[in-house]
Structure 1
Amino acid sequence: MSVTVIADIVGSRSLPDRASAQQTLDAIIAEVDEFGPGAIQRLTPTVGDEQQGIYETVEMALSAILLLRLALPADVQCRFGLGIGEIRSVPAAGGSIPDGPAWWAARRAIDEARALQQRAVPAARTRVVADSDESSSVQDAVKLANAYALVRDQLIDGMSARARRLTYGRCRGRTQRELAASENITQSAVSQTLSHSGAAALVATFVELSGEWK
C-alpha cells in the first residue's frame, strides 16, 4: 500500500522571493531523499506552490516529512497531506496523470491541515486521510498517525531555528561535538538546547519510525 503526499508552501504569495524559496525547497527535498527514506516518487513541483510525491509506507512518509520540517528555514514552511488508497494513472497527451483514491485522500488531508491551522491548531502542518474503502484497522492507524502529527507539529513550531538544525543533525546521526563545531558553540550549549526544546523526543520518534524502513 503506497502513500501519496501533497505539500504546499505556507503563505507562498507573500514570499519576497518565490523563486529562491522554491530552489531552497527543491535542494532540501533532494538532501532528505538522499539520506532519509527514499521515495517511490520524490516530491516534485506540479502547479503553483504544490509538490507531489509517493512513499511506500506512512512511516516512511512521516519520517521524510519530519526531516523536511526540521531542515526548512522558518520563511519556507510547508503543509503536508498524506493519502492512503489506490493509486491510478490516467493516460493523457504528453504522459499520464496521477489519479485515484489515494490522491483524493491526500487532497482532503491537506485541506484538513489548512483548516486546522486557520482555526483550532495554528501549528498544524501534517494530516493523514485514508480512502473510505480502506479497512477499519487502517482507519484506526490513521487516527494514531494524526494524533502523533499534531503533537509533533506543535513541538517543532515552538523550536528556535537553531534547535531545529540541531535536531535535524541528531536525526542524521551527527554527534553533539560535531554539531557544536558547526554552530560555533560549546557541546554543553548543544546539550542544553536539545534538552530544553524537546528534541530528544523528536529524535526518538524518528528512530522508531525509521526502524520500519532502514
Structure 2
Amino acid sequence: MSQIQPSPVVLIGDIVASRQSKDRRALHRAVERALADTNERVEHVEPLEITVGDEFQGVYPHLGAALDAALRTRVALRPAAESRYGLGRGATTTLDKARGIKDGPAWWAAREAIVDVEKLATRAALEHVHTAYRLAEGESDDPGTALAVDAALLCQDHMVGSLSERSGRLLKGLLDGMTQRDLATAEGITPSAVSQRVRADGLAVIVRCHDLLKDLR
C-alpha cells in the first residue's frame, strides 16, 4: 500500500527590529547570504526568497526540512540580526506566479505561527522564542506532533538565543558538519577550548535536537 504524501510546509521568516539597523543595505546583504546558504544545504520545494520589506519565505516537502531551514537561517544571521519564523503545514496555491502571490491554508497557518511568536517574545521570560509550527485547519497530521514540536522549539530557541557570538559561530560550524578541530583552527583557539564551549553552552544538545527534528515528515 502506498503511503500518503504529507502536505508541504510553508516557512515565513522576518527580521526582528530591522528598522533599527544602522546599515540596512548591509543587513539586506547578510539576509541574502544566509538564505543562499540555507537553500544550498536544505531540500526545498520553493527556495527561501526575500519578498516584501524584511520578510522572506519558502516551501518545504516535509516538516523536518522546514525546521532545518529555520534553525540554519537564524544561526547564519546572528549576530548581524535576529529573526523569527512561522511554519505552517497544509495545501498551498499560487494566485499570481509572475508576482509571486501565494495563498492557501499552509500560508495562513504559517502567518498565524509567526504572529504568535511575535506575541510570545514580548514576555521577558520568553524573549528568545522565535519559531512556531501550526497545522492548517482540517490537516490530517497528528496534532500531538505539533504540540511536541512547539515544546522542542521553545527549548531550542532559548538555548540558541542565549549563545555568545563565538558560540553561535561554533554552532553553525557543527550544523555544517565541521569537526571540533576544524572549528578550533577557524577560531584560533585550542580544541580543548572548543570542547569546553560545546559542553558548557549545550551546543551538542542543540545539534542533537536539530538532528531529531529534521527527520520529521
* TM-score scaled by length of structure 2: 0.91
Whether the aligned pair in 1 keeps the contact of 2:13 and 2:85 (CA below 8 Å) is yes
Residue 8 of structure 1, aligned match among 14, 21, 28: 14
Q: Are residue 17 (structure 1) and residue 23 (structure 2) matched?
A: yes
Match of 1:181 in 2: 185
Q: Are residue 30 (structure 1) and residue 36 (structure 2) matched?
A: yes
Q: Equivalents in 2 of 1:134, 1:185: separation in Å? A: 49
* TM-score scaled by length of structure 1: 0.92
When the two chains are superposed, the root-mean-square deviation of aligned CA atoms in Å is: 1.6
- Classify the secondary structure of the residue corresponding to 1:39: coil
- Classify the secondary structure of the residue corresponding to 2:56: strand
Q: Are residue 164 (structure 1) and residue 164 (structure 2) matched?
A: no
The answer to which of 189-198 and 169-178 deviates more is 169-178
Unaligned runs of 5+ in 2: 1-6
Q: Equivalents in 2 of 1:79, 1:11: separation in Å? A: 11
Fraction of identical pairs, as percent: 36
Q: Equivalents in 2 of 1:29, 1:43: separation in Å? A: 6
Q: Equivalents in 1 of 2:80, 2:58: separation in Å? A: 22
Q: CA deviation at 1:121?
A: 1.2
- Aligned residue type for 1:201: V
Match of 1:127 in 2: 132
Q: CA deviation at 1:91?
A: 3.9
Match of 2:212 in 1: 208
Match of 1:116 in 2: 120
- Classify the secondary structure of the residue corresponding to 1:170: helix
Q: Equivalents in 2 of 1:46, 1:142: separation in Å? A: 27
- Classify the secondary structure of the residue corresponding to 2:142: helix
Q: Are residue 190 (structure 1) and residue 198 (structure 2) matched?
A: no
Q: Equivalents in 1 of 2:214, 2:105: separation in Å? A: 26
Q: Equivalents in 1 of 2:102, 2:21: separation in Å? A: 29
Q: Deviations over 1:98-156 (max 9, x none)?
A: 10111011111000000000125111100111112113x43221111111111000001
- Aligned residue type for 1:105: A
Q: Equivalents in 2 of 1:188, 1:134: separation in Å? A: 48
Whether the aligned pair in 2 keeps the contact of 1:130 and 1:138 (CA below 8 Å) is no
Match of 1:73 in 2: 78
Q: CA deviation at 1:65?
A: 1.4
- Aligned residue type for 1:6: I
- Classify the secondary structure of the residue corresponding to 2:139: coil
Whether the aligned pair in 1 keeps the contact of 2:63 and 2:216 (CA below 8 Å) is no
Match of 1:47 in 2: 52
Q: CA deviation at 1:95?
A: 4.5
- Aligned residue type for 1:106: A
